[in-house]
Structure 1
Amino acid sequence: QIGSLENYYHFHHSKTFKRSTLSSRGPHNFLRMDPKVDWLQQQEVKRRVKRQVRAEPHAQPFNDPVWPNMWYLHCSDKSSRCRSEMNILAAWQRGYTGKNVVVTILDDGIERNHPDLLQNYDPLASYDVNGNDHDPNPRYDASNENKHGTRCAGEVAASANNSYCIVGIAYNARIGGIRMLDGDVTDVVEAKSLGIRPDYIDIYSASWGPDDDGKTVDGPGLLAKQAFEHGIKKGRRGLGSIFVWASGNGGREGDYCSCDGYTNSIYTISISSTTENGYKPWYLEECASTLATTYSSGAFYERKIVTTDLRHSCTDGHTGTSVSAPMVAGIIALALEANPLLTWRDVQHLLVKTSRPVHLRAADWKTNGAGHKVSHLYGFGLVDADAIVVEAKKWKTVPPQHVCVGSLDRVPKYIRADHVLRTSTLSSACADHRDQHVLFLEHIVVRLSIAHPRRGDLQISLISPAGTRSQLLARR
């Protein structure tokens, strides 16, 4: 019987030739003459093609004219310089493009009517804090000073297949802009910006911070700190807002990103950069708070990042760690599409688990007590979009966060010239308090009070029981 079809049967005749170009008339004519047979058909092999998109490794899947120059997303130019991809295409081929995820750029505004941003622009995810209105469009001048936000927005959610400019990493995500850097930046301005519609916006991307001059120690004020805490506790209906931050561009000045209170906050995801060849860029800062890395610009002869620009244009000159934060914001948008129930801590766990050291060159790669390779330059390595969406799909939410607070004795200790001051503490991880007991270590926040005539001469390291050294402050 043929499947569930009643009175239809399939017969096989051993004497017919399978490869014959002629029908087998004799045996079939005898069957056709049988009064019990109403219908008969000799079966022919038909060609059928699976209706899947076949990914050719060097094909150009998009009609956006600058797509061939997006070397950090694909290796379609067959360049020997393309060492390792961030596996963006593989995540797209699984169907993840950022749909139903909202990303906002905290910056100097975004050009909302840019042809490559217009389709995905979301007015509900936008606001002008500087002008106190709902239009985040940047202020134009002769030098295009306020281009930064528009460039970052294109990396995240520039439209695909619109024959214009580039393709965003999350090209079906919604993109908004908070204009807050084109004016006096105060604690109120930052707090307002960090708290715009936290139940609607999923990801906030910021590529700015205190001066990267190798001297400044600064961070969020009281109001901005409260905005961060409110975001991770109440944002996304209790799942927590996701704040992505660029680690800083003060490498040439000897700056150290631990002195930046935004990048070293446990509430932010601090992102570093590497050159196309996996080397440390000249601008890169080191610190223990860096979580992961993307490609960006390097020396003058190395390729930079292409993205949207002011006045409806495109640029191939986007640079620095400013590039890396929105790239990761786009990749997190893919992960949230795969699993919208990820918490802010889940996202950090996923980045740690799926980022890879690959060919990133650093002398300080080490394996920590949890078995992860980690570096002060690159965090846990190059982000992998395909790996993170696969893990996100099956991820089980981590338990509620437990916070254990301990303190050392307050006896004054003296730091003598050319000597190292060592101090240690034994912690029970608050085992006596069930709601505080830490079973799995995620973050450590260290608060120190040091009086010293030359702050830049100090170096501070934290060493774990497993021997992992985290440098909290380097000489500057």
Structure 2
Amino acid sequence: MRLSLLALLLAVVGIWAIEHDSVCEEGSADCPEPSHLVIRLAKRDDTLAAAIADQHDMRVVGRPFLDSHYFLEHVDDSKKTKRHKREAVERLRDSADVEWVEEQRPRSRVKRDYTFFDDTADQSFSTNDRHKRSDARDPKRYWPDPLYPEQWYLVKGAVGNYDMNVIEAWDLGYTGKNVSVSILDDGIQRDHLDLYSNYDPMASTDINDHDDDPTPQNNGDNKHGTRCAGEVAAIAGNNQCGVGVAYNAKIGGVRMLDGPVSDSVEAASLSLNQHHIDIYSASWGPEDDGKTFDGPGPLARQAFYKGIKEGRGGKGNIFVWASGNGGQRQDSCSADGYTTSIYTLSISSATFDNHRPWYLEECPSSIATTYSSANMNEPAIVTVDVPSGCTKKHTGTSASAPLAAGIIALALEANPSLTWRDMQHIVLRTANPTPLLNNPGWSTNGVGRKISNKFGYGLMDGGALVKMAKKWQTVPEQHMCTYEYKLSEPNPRPLTSRSILNFTLSVGGCESGTPVLYLEHVQVVATVRFGKRGDLRLTLYSPRGTRSELLPPRPQDFNTNGFHKWPFLSVQMWGEDPRGDWTLTVETVSENRNLGGTFHDWMLLLYGTESPAQSNDPVYAGAVPVSASARHRADGTTQVQFARSPDPFAGFTAGDASFPAGDGFGGGDPTSAAASSVGGYMAADTEAKNPQELTYGDLKNAGNCHPECDDSGCHESQSATGCFKCRNLAQSQRNRAGFKCVSTCDAGYFEDKAQHSCKMCSPKCKTCSQQEVCDSCTGAQLLIDVDHYGQLDHGQCVAECPKGLMTDYDSDPLQPKCILPKNPCAKGYFFAGDGRGSGSCAVCHEACATCHGPSPVQCDQCNTGYANKTVGYCRPCCKSGEQPDVVHCGSLQILPASLLS
């Protein structure tokens, strides 16, 4: 009985653990042998890591990553038996200095190109007409590089005289100077004649062989990374091959695909020199076979998060990703967790004749498109080759992502202050759908932009991108609202063949936190089981009528498990007002009546801002143009605005045109009465006609008080810091005396309801609910979301999760947390594991209703008759008249000192 219980327990643990198809259960026939051994220390200490490795007959290889993670390998590996290796790892787990250790298994990762017969001497699609058109268009930009005329995607060589308008960016003076791009791939030929002077060793390393030389093996299989690098930064005017899109950018490469690829290999690649590298370009991902759901593991997700939080001095690294080549197998990039990450720009492909390539995958997370290859006898992408020479046959979405990275490098040179979110904004706002509109599937979203599951927002436009980058204002802080659908009975809901279920959530702008009124990313996190996963279709409808097909049917996918809390992403509602009803449609297209399944749950994650991203964006009803309640004038006074129009789209027209002054979209002088009223907003009168003669102490009422002042008046007109008393909340000033009146507390403050005031959070917190209890952390720190865990408590911010806690990057991608591993045991029991996946369920202490360990200090919830409000552990509740500090009982509430005296 005990063995069967344990087997059941481990099976449950396995179900929880398998989020991706590449994760396998140890011991199963299809589970590969571990390829990498990784440890984590409390902080980086290279000397200590080397000593620990030596104690266990191992050695540290390569450089540390994610601050304090180290690759270890066994000395004389080939002479060690599996048992000896396993015992050495067990001893590592018992080391007091090692916070975490894991033997990692390789995951299947493929390059997103395909094979042409590659004859670099082939000039079959070269035409004098195309050459002349390039020269005539701009004589200053005719490079002597022999294959430059064949770069049809730069010289108006696509059908209809289209290209990606890169020459306009060059003519404006932007060529990628001072921007560093790293190609995460199978290496880079750093001494190639068309790359060497742009090579950046700080953006390069070899993770496969654990050294600093990214040069690929010259075996015919490792040309991919070098070709991608040439697209970005091939030297211009040197009579070699062609010209890179950002031909003055610094280019590096990480050799990481020429060997087993584990979560740690990906994390080490994505986290390389994040302070130095601006753009990471990746043209690989899970199998594009039409049957795989897979994405980044925990360490890679941590690397993404640290990159957008700390990279580029806090502005965030730019991660560019190829959307995938599984179109022929009817694959969808929605099943790829790299392209459905909010941190990546997913790039699709178009052919020279502006059509969908045969390999293109569809999904609503693709943000834009660049040109790439078509069929074998049609033009592809020109670039450098390994170990020397050139090719005109670079292919697939592999070729599209580096072109996008090069164009983005031009924009970063134009405005180095752009954040990772700024870049996503300007890429989608400047993308040009016009060349691609002859393809089926285009629609118009709720703010008038053309969208497509094939091409995102359209073809990237280098000239438009750099011009918008130059004048772009940094976007407001991004917030996230979570809406969880509560499934009524039957729960879970049964699914049958040829059925459709609709689930509707009403969204009100995130009343519990900072409102999200201007959408950016939208995620649906869902759990569905079905007898054939490929027969599922998921579609999301926004309140503005935008339809996003999150998951199309995939005929090759015969998986019988479905997917567990998979994060589908759409960028197609960008800029919309989220308030209203959202509907998720779950459809089964199976004709097999014997197939069935269950729909379990779904959450809607809305990312965006409370105010418009730019001053000339439309202002929605109930929103504020600039700050929490007011727009500040240049003269120091404040103009308060009040919503009047109930229709947030009244008078709104499509596109991102610059609106003239007085049109209600923020153009012109924001302090003028005309500008503030035409667009549905009315300015408060800034001059009091009949100020009341009120006094407060020795101060005389100035009249025309700020709306946050109460009726007692103010000593300074229209100033939130000039009130005698506050109508709502008084907020202390940072680094100065006095207070200002606010309706809600600013970020970095918490509300003291008893005193009707906002008090400052601890400097450790970004936001908080009490001074030392953080709700979110600064930088890339993690939030402890467990009560009374050792010396840590709920609401503390840490750089790494302590031993025994796991990192949760999924429930709130904007603020990852340290949580307890999921407890597979019944209520009142905890999983007493041995650190190797084995163990049993043990009874909690009598003080605990639920727990993560045997003592009352490890209660997650107190049992009936116990409380932990007074101290950090559960103890018997106080009886009438008992004082907690006298009889060591637990108070059911924290009482004010005045009531205890």
Question: Same fold per TM (> 0.5)?
Answer: yes
Conserved 8 A contact 2:158-2:352:
no
One-letter identity of the residue aligned with 2:271: G
Larger RCO of the pair (alpha carbons < 8 Å, separation 6+): 1
Match of 1:351 among 418, 427, 438: 427
Task: Write the distance in 1 (CA, Å) between the matches of 2:158 and 2:334.
Answer: 36
Instruction: Write the distance in 2 (CA, Å) between the matches of 1:73 and 1:233.
Output: 34
- Equivalent residue for 2:499? 419
Q: Once the two structures are superposed, what CA deviation does each residue of 1:36-73 show, in whole Å capped at 9, x if it has no partner?
A: xxxxxxxxxxxxxxxxxx98406462111111111110
TM superposition shift of 1:226? 1.0
Q: Which has the higher Rg, Structure 1 or Structure 2?
A: 2
SS at match of 1:424: strand
Q: Secondary structure at the match of 1:449?
A: strand
The aligned counterpart of 1:400 is 477
Paired amino acid for 2:366 = T
Question: CA–CA distance in 2 between the matches of 1:371 and 1:80?
Answer: 27
1:66 aligned onto 2:147: yes
Q: Which residue of 2 aligns with 1:285?
A: 361
The answer as to 2:377 corresponding to 1:301 is yes
**What's the CA shift for 1:371?**
1.4
Name the CA distance, whole Å, in 2 between partners of 1:234 and 1:371. 34
Secondary structure at 1:156's aligned position in 2? helix
Matched, 1:222 2:302: no
Cα distance 1:335–1:135, how it changes in 2: closer, same or farther (>3 A)?
A: same
In terms of mean alpha carbon deviation, does 422-431 or 325-334 score higher? 422-431
| Cα displacement (A) at 1:444 | 1.1
User: What is the CA-CA distance between 1:359 and the residue it aligns to?
Assistant: 2.1
Question: Cα distance, 1:415 vs. partner?
Answer: 2.1
> Does the Cα contact within 8 Å between 1:296 and 1:319 map onto a contact in 2?
yes
What does 1:93-132 align with in structure 2 at a 5 Å threshold? Answer: 93-132=171-210
Aligned-partner Cα distance in 2 for 1:322–1:406: 36
Shift of 1:82: 4.8
- 1:192 pairs with 2:273: no
C-alpha distance in 1 between matches for 2:531 and 2:269: 36
Q: What's the secondary structure of 1:151's corresponding residue?
A: helix
Question: Which of 467, 470, 480 is 1:390 aligned to?
Answer: 467
C-alpha offsets along residues 121-157 of structure 1, whole Å, 9 cap, x if unaligned?
Answer: 000110101111110000121xx10000000000000
Trace 1:47-62 onto structure 2 (pairs within 5 A).
Answer: 56-57=136-137, 59=139, 61-62=142-143
**Structure 1 residues 353-362 or 237-246, which shifts more?**
353-362
C-alpha displacement of 1:80: 7.9
Paired position in structure 2 for 1:248: 324
What is aligned with 1:206? 282
1:169 is matched with which residue: 227, 233, 245? 245
CA distance in 2, matches of 1:382, 1:468: 21
Aligned to 1:368: 445
Equivalent-residue separation in structure 2 for 1:233 and 1:356 (angstroms): 30
For 1:155, give the aligned amino acid.
E
Using the alignment, how far apart are the partners of 1:97 and 1:464 within structure 2?
40
Distance apart, 1:462 and its partner CA: 0.7
Q: Deviations over 1:259-302 (max 9, x none)?
A: 00001111100000011111110000000100000111112221
Q: Please list the CA deviations of residues 94-135 of structure 1 after superposition, one character each: whole Å capped at 9, or x if unmatched.
A: 000000000000000000000000010000110101111110
Q: Which moved more, 1:301-310 or 1:333-342?
A: 301-310
* Runs of 5+ unmatched residues, structure 1: 1-53
Q: Which runs of 4+ in 1 moved over 6 A?
A: none
TM-score, normalised via structure 1 length: 0.86
Distance 2:291 2:155 in 1: 39
| Cα separation, 2, equivalents of 1:83 and 1:64 | 21
Determine which of 446, 450, 469 is the counterpart of 2:524: 446
- Matched residues in 2 for 1:362 and 1:106: separation? 32
Q: Secondary structure at the match of 1:325?
A: helix
Paired amino acid for 2:428: V
The alignment's C-alpha RMSD in Å is 1.4
State the SS of the aligned residue for 2:527.
coil
Partner SS for 1:134:
coil
User: After superposition, where does 1:306-321 map in structure 2 within 5 Å?
Assistant: 306-321=382-397
Structure 1 counterpart of 2:553: 475
How far the C-alpha of 1:204 sits from its partner, in A, is: 0.1
> Helix, strand or coil: the match of 1:119?
helix
Q: Give CA deviations for 1:215-243 in whole Å, capped at 9, x if unaligned.
A: 01100001111111111111111100100
The CA distance in 1 between the partners of 2:439 and 2:326, in whole Å, is: 18
Indicate conservation of the 8 Å contact 1:102/1:200, yes or no: yes
Q: Which residue of 2 aligns with 1:48?
A: none
1:456 aligns with 2:534: yes
- SS state of the match for residue 176, structure 2? coil
Indicate the SS of the match to 2:435: coil
Correspondence for 1:466: 544
Question: Letter of the aligned partner of 1:422 in structure 2?
Answer: N
The offset of 1:362, in angstroms, is 2.2
Amino acid in structure 1 at the alignment position of 2:462: A
Whole-Å separation in 2 of the counterparts to 1:355 and 1:330: 15
Distance 1:254 1:80 in 2: 26
1:429 counterpart letter in structure 2: G
User: Counterpart of 2:611?
Assistant: none
**Within the alignment, does 1:235 sit opposite 2:315 as a pair?**
no
Cα distance in 1 for residues equivalent to 2:530 and 2:387: 50
Q: In the alignment, which residue of structure 1 is the partner of 2:512?
A: 432
2:258 to 182, 185, 207: 182
Change in 2 beyond 3 A, CA 1:399/1:55: farther
Structure 2 distance, partners of 1:316, 1:279, is 20
What SS does the aligned partner of 1:224 have?
A: helix
Give, as a single letter, the amino acid of the residue that structure 1 aligns with 2:540.
L
Equivalent of 1:273 in 346, 349, 353: 349
**Partners in 1 of 2:190 and 2:305 — Cα distance?**
29
1:81 deviates by 3.1
Q: State whether residues 109 and 138 of structure 1, in contact with CA within 8 Å, keep that contact through their aligned partners in structure 2.
A: yes
1:133 equivalenced with 2:211 (yes/no) = yes
What is the CA distance between 1:467 and its match in structure 2? Answer: 1.1
Tell whether the 8 Å contact from 2:152 to 2:158 is kept in structure 1 after alignment: no
Indicate conservation of the 8 Å contact 2:352/2:373, yes or no.
yes
How far residue 176 of structure 1 moved from its aligned partner, in angstroms, is 0.4
Q: Is the 8 A contact 2:483 2:505 kept in 1?
A: no
Answer whether contact 2:432 2:457 (CA < 8 A) is retained. yes
Is the 1:205–1:244 Cα contact (8 Å) retained in structure 2?
Answer: yes
Residue-by-residue CA offset, 1:303-346 (whole Å, 9 max, x unaligned)? 11110000211001101000110000000000000000000000
TM-score under structure 2 length normalisation: 0.46
Give the 3-state SS of the residue equivalent to 2:369 in structure 1.
Answer: strand
For 2:205 and 2:181, how far apart are their aligned partners in 1?
13
- 1:86 is paired with a residue whose SS is coil
Q: Could you say what secondary structure the match of 1:131 adopts?
A: coil
Higher mean Cα deviation, 190-199 or 416-425? 416-425
Query: 1:403 & 1:259 partners in 2: Cα distance?
Result: 23
Could you say which structure has the higher strand fraction? Answer: 2
Distance change >3 Å, CA 98–CA 58, structure 1 → 2: closer
The answer on whether the counterparts of 1:71 and 1:82 sit within 8 Å (CA) in structure 2 is no
Partner of 2:80: none
Q: Given that residues 431 and 438 in structure 1 are in contact (C-alpha distance below 8 angstroms), is that contact kept between their aligned partners in structure 2?
A: no
Render the CA deviation track for 1:390-422: whole Å, top value 9, x for unaligned. 000000010011111120004422223212110
Range with bigger deviation, 119-128 or 82-91: 82-91
Residue identity in the other structure for 2:402: P
What is the alpha-carbon distance in structure 2 between the residues aligned to residue 311 and residue 214 of structure 1? 33
User: Which of 444, 450, 456 is residue 379 of structure 1 equivalent to?
Assistant: 456
Contact 2:274–2:307 (CA under 8 A) maintained in structure 1: yes
Residue 3 of structure 1 aligns with which residue?
none
